[in-house]
């Protein structure tokens, strides 16, 4: 599993030109699920995400986590995080989980993460063509891999 976490001032996600989800200050998390992933490690990753101190305290030091700022999360499935570009110019996605397996892990991760987060987690729509607008803060981008 790969997570790309971006600290944002705000973000919105549209599907078919309609806003599907939006958040204020918090995190946009892009999640890629590999063919080798399973649900056994979701608790550990969810805990880690909730405790990442990537938000500034009153002294400007990254010392607060998402709950410490009452921040919001937009979680978006992105199989392209498992693109393989070693051969040729067109990426291969054979390392990504099959959709039927990925959606189960994705939904389980949402539930697991929600147990650690005070505010409701917003999501994209699994498998949809989404447009995501975000305003990075910093920018701060963190990559977590299992």
Catalytic residue positions?
80
Q: Which two tokens stand for residue 37?
A: 């992933």
Kindly give, in sequence order, each residue whose CB lies less than 8 Å from that of residue 67, ignoring residues fewer than 6 positions away.
50, 116, 117, 118
Judge whether 28 and 131 are in contact, CB under 8 Å: no
DSSP state, 57?
-
Taking only Cα atoms into account, the Rg of the chain, rounded to an integer number of angstroms, comes to: 15
Beta strands in 16-124 (DSSP E): 18-23, 26-32, 55-56, 62-64, 72-77, 122-123
């Amino acid at each position: 599993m790969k997570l790309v976490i971006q600290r944002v001032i705000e973000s919105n996600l549209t599907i078919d030109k309609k806003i599907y989800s939006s958040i204020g200050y918090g995190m946009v998390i892009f999640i890629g699920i590999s063919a080798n992933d399973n649900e056994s490690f979701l608790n550990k990753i969810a805990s880690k995400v909730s405790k990442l101190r990537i938000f500034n305290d009153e002294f400007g030091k990254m010392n607060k986590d998402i709950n410490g700022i009452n921040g919001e999360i937009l979680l978006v499935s992105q199989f392209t995080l498992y693109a393989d570009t070693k051969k040729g110019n067109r990426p291969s996605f054979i390392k990504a989980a099959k959709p039927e397996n990925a959606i189960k892990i994705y939904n389980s991760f949402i539930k697991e993460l929600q147990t650690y987060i005070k505010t409701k987690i917003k999501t994209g729509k699994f498998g949809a063509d989404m447009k995501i607008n975000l305003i990075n803060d910093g920018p701060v981008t963190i990559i977590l891999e299992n």
